[in-house]
Structure 1
Amino acid sequence: MLLRFRVANHRSIRDECTLSLISDADEADDSRTPRQAKLRRTWPNIQVLPVLGVFGANASGKSNLLSALYEMREAVRVSFSEWNTRPGIPRQPFKLDPACAEETTLFEVDLVLGTNPVRYTYGFELSDERVEAEWLHAYPDGVQVVWFDREADRPEDEGGEFLFPGEGFQGKRDVLVDVTRPDSLFLSTGAALNDPQLSAIHRWFLNNLWLVTPGADVAARTTWTQRLLSGPQRNEAQHAWLTELLGIADLGLTGVDVDEETGELTLRHRTPDGGEAPLEFLGEESLGTHAWFAFIGPMLQVLDAGTTLMVDELDSSLHPTLAAEVVRLFQDPKSNPRDAQLLFTTHDATLLGKAVLGRPLEREQVWIAAKRSTGESEFYPLEAAHPRQDEDLEQEYLRGRYGGAPRVSAGEIARALAWREKEREHEREAKASA
């Protein structure tokens, strides 16, 4: 499970930002939605949120937060195998301040892993040329154990670039250090050489953090969902659940068929006389049905695996009612027994109100993205604005009380366009008189 993510100097995120999925809910309060992370530790178990939504205006930096977590995943995945084939380390520092090009980009996560859950902290800092720092800490029995600490500029008389204090990391240290390039993560190198301890952390990055973006990856996600309906990946239970989920969006749907040879999809619909009629998926179904179909495959995969789904602009992919149902799927232990997590961005304020059959999010599951006048993004929990218990969150968010909403007065855009047309009219009159 993901507990926390920290990032700095990535795209519009200049200053350090920490996104936390740790809840302050009372363990005895069964009405709340957090999941318990049963860590082996001496203090009380922490509570972890299964869903977190980041709300904000267009260009506030919401997408950059998800891209940062995904870029961290990609760095872990390919730094050993690919970074030496390209000029420099791929990163995207904050561009509005030239000084940021000389500063490092920071990524760090806190995780809970294992059948006997243990918390880990893993992070690194990158410049354009090399990995400047990297660290991995474990917390068995609630006590920090440093597996390794890497610092490019550490003097040799202080231990050199790599330190392995204690016996936490038991791998072949000298061998791994020798083959770790300056432009490769030690974690990626260790996993490539099959170190069992590092491979376990590495697998979390490989198997987690599925990013869904509006429009760009619909075709790939549609193909993924099709595979769940046919071929070697076909699962009858998933087939039935997928059909049921499609029926939520299209109440007339009665079944889904896949041509085993061509992969062509046909959706069966109820007719007025009680019969069924097939409609071709590509040519006759609505764009809304396409979007929901493409979303279901990744969602089912994540729920089955107990991993993390990141959705950029949830409202761009789904109707507000469907978006609320997706949130409830992840909130409910019966439909999410493996503790999968959903991290999404949106500017759909209806998820903060009661119009979608009661607000699906607890207040602590809502974060705000806002952009400062200097172009940097900032992120903070809704509760930092201290909303009253009886406050209408949807209304107050739209009013801008919590930040993250566009600063646009009523009719401002129309007035701007009217002024533009007035200027054009003056230009035409001037040309006519000339």
Structure 2
Amino acid sequence: MLLSFRVANHRSIRDEQELSLVATEFNERTARETGTRSDGKPVSVLPAVGIFGANASGKSNILDAMYFMRRAVLESLADWDREPDAPVPREPFALAHEASDDTSLFEVELLLGRNEKVRYTYGFELSDDRVESEWLHAYPTGRRQVWFDREADRPEADGGEFRFPGTGLSGRKDLKDLLVSTTRPNALFLTVGAALNHPQLSAIHRWFRDNLWLVTTGKDVVERTAWTRERLTGSQGAEMRERLVTMLASADIGVTGVEIDPETGNIQLLHRGEGDSVRPLDFWSQESLGTHAWFAFLGPLLTMLNRKGGGVLLADELDSSLHPVLAAEVVRLFQDQDANPQLAQLVFTTHDATLLGPSVTERPLDRDQVWIAVKEGSGESSLYPLLAARKARNDENMERRYLHGHYGGVPRLATGEVARQLAVLERRLAQQTASEPEPKATTTA
């Protein structure tokens, strides 16, 4: 499971930002015990966190950074340019010239293992030219073990680029030498280790492979629909279909079943008709865009909920294609221990203040599950927990206080400001038009 994520110098994110999924002392309902301890204290994890903020505040770039890290781990060896001096495909902050000279940082803190869970910290820093640093630390007994540490500029006298202090990372010296010699300057050591089947490195690599599924608004609905359809016709299709129909029916859109033509792959959803009749409707031509969005969302959602050890689903703008009531139910689904026994996690962005709720009983989120993204005057995005903005009381109307700007993360606009500004512009344009001389009439012979 995911405990935290750190990022710096990626898209609108300039300075280092951290998103934590570790529960705090302010959590009263939703935290889940992990059975592990840190600094002598039990560690509880959050099954969901929501990132709120105005348009262009950088909410989506937090999720994009997490997904970029996943792609880097999976693709740096085979899909990044294989020439040793080829550039690294990163996206540093674009509004400051010096940002292109600074490294981009990505780091996750994980808790892995079925019976005895172990905490890991894995991260790397990238420049345009190479991997500048990379590290993997493990805490099997609560104390840190450095499994490997990579510094591109470390001199040979100090051990060279790669160091393997201690005995935490298994394998003979010749195996580690092979991994080092195979790792290009613009490829990640973790990716190389997994490609050569190193057991410990492969376990971390598998977490990235199986997690951080980014669901974006509208862009990938067709792709996700096709993926869901394939799951319904696979070896686990009957079980998946039963779960899918349950979720479709619970959304109150009148769906009672799903049929898939084995020859064409066309999807038909079964609807209640007059009396007890059931009518099939063609998915693409007769169903609403809202039904398309919900169906396409359910494939990744159900996959993450049922993944052994729990999965992490990233949902960008959860509210944009789902009704607020349905979006709240998605959050509650991840919070429910019976519906989510594997402790899957949801990280989502949203504008929907109703998820903050006017009261404790009406909101699905605890106070420490709410994060705020803001855009600074320099164009940089900042991320902070709601509780850092103000020690919000559990019984206060967080929805109203958020909309009134008490926590930040809302547009700085006075009521009617957009209309006033446009009216001023229209009057100025009208005056300019009135002051222009009439064009002279032209005659033709």
What TM-score does the superposition give when structure 1 sets the normalisation length? 0.95
Output aligned runs, 1:155-166, within 5 Å: 155-166=155-166
Partner of 1:281: 283
| 2:62 is equivalent to residue 65 of structure 1 | yes
Alignment partners' CA distance in 1, 2:37 and 2:190:
24
Counterpart CA distance in 2 for 1:349 and 1:311 is 16
1:249 Cα shift?
2.7
Shift of 1:233: 4.1
Please give the alpha-carbon distance, in whole angstroms, between the structure 1 residues aligned to 2:178 and 2:239. 47
Matching of residue 253 in structure 1 with residue 250 in structure 2: no
Distance (whole Å) between structure 1 residues aligned to residue 39 and residue 425 of structure 2: 66
Correspondence for 1:332: 336
Aligned mates of 1:361, 1:200 — CA distance in 2: 32
Assess if the C-alpha contact under 8 Å between 2:30 and 2:46 holds in 1: yes
Deviation sequence 1:244-285 (CA, Å, 0-9, x none): 211233442222111111111111211233312221111111
The more displaced of 352-361 and 103-112 is 352-361
| Other-structure match for 1:381 | 385
Kept in 2: contact 1:25–1:34 (CA 8 A)? no
Q: Deviations over 1:83-138 (max 9, x none)?
A: 23474001011111101100000011100111221000001000011110011000
Q: What letter is aligned with 1:10? A: H
Matched with 1:32 is 29
- Structure 1 segments of 4 or more deviating over 6 A? none
Q: Which residue of 1 aligns with 2:117?
A: 117
Letter in 1 for 2:241: H
**2:360–2:395 CA contact under 8 A, matched in 1:** no
| Conserved 8 A contact 1:25-1:47 | no
More helix by share: 1
Question: Shift of residue 355 of structure 1?
Answer: 8.4
User: What's the offset of the Cα at 1:357?
Assistant: 7.2
Moved more, 417-426 or 195-204: 417-426
Distance 1:429 1:202 in 2: 67
Cα offset, 1:228, TM superposition: 2.9
Answer whether contact 2:359 2:398 (CA < 8 A) is retained.
no
| 1:4-24 CA-partner distances (Å, limit 9, x unpaired) | 101111111100111110112
**Cα deviation digits, residues 281-326 of structure 1 (max 9, x gap):** 1111111111100100100000010110000111112111110010
Partner of 1:185: 188
Retained in 2: the 8 A contact 1:40–1:141?
A: no
After superposing the two structures, state which structure 1 stretch, 357-366 or 267-276, moved more. Answer: 267-276
Opposite residue 96 of structure 1, the aligned amino acid is L
Name the % identity.
57
Deviates more, 1:219-228 or 1:330-339: 219-228
Structure-2 residue corresponding to 1:88: 87
Q: How far, CA to CA, are the matches of 1:129 and 1:170 in structure 2?
A: 30
TM-superposed deviation, 1:181: 1.1
The number of residues matched between the two structures is 430
The correspondence of residues 303-342 of structure 1 with structure 2, limited to 5 A, is 303-305=305-307, 306-342=310-346
Counterparts in 2 of 1:356 and 1:25: CA distance versus 1, 3 Å: closer
Structure 1 unaligned spans of 5+: none
Matching of residue 167 in structure 1 with residue 171 in structure 2: no
- Bigger shift: 330-339 or 16-25? 16-25
Measure the CA separation in 2 of the matches of 1:393 and 1:42: 32
Pair 355,389 (structure 1): closer, same or farther in 2 beyond 3 Å: closer
Report the 3-state secondary structure (helix = DSSP H, G, I; strand = E; otherwise coil) of the residue aligned with 2:384. strand
Q: Which residue of 2 aligns with 1:101?
A: 100
From 424, 427, 430, the counterpart of 1:422: 427
* Correspondence 1:43 to 2:40: yes
State the one-letter code of the partner of 1:100: A
Q: Does 2:370 match 1:371?
A: no
Query: Measured at CA, do residues 164 and 121 of structure 1 come closer, stay the same or move farther in structure 2, by a change above 3 Å?
Result: same
Q: Deviations over 1:319-338 (max 9, x none)?
A: 11110010011000101000
Instruction: Report the 3-state secondary structure (helix = DSSP H, G, I; strand = E; otherwise coil) of the residue aligned with 1:317.
Output: coil
Q: Relative to 1, partners in 2 of residues 1:180 and 1:308: Cα closer, same or farther, differing over 3 Å?
A: same
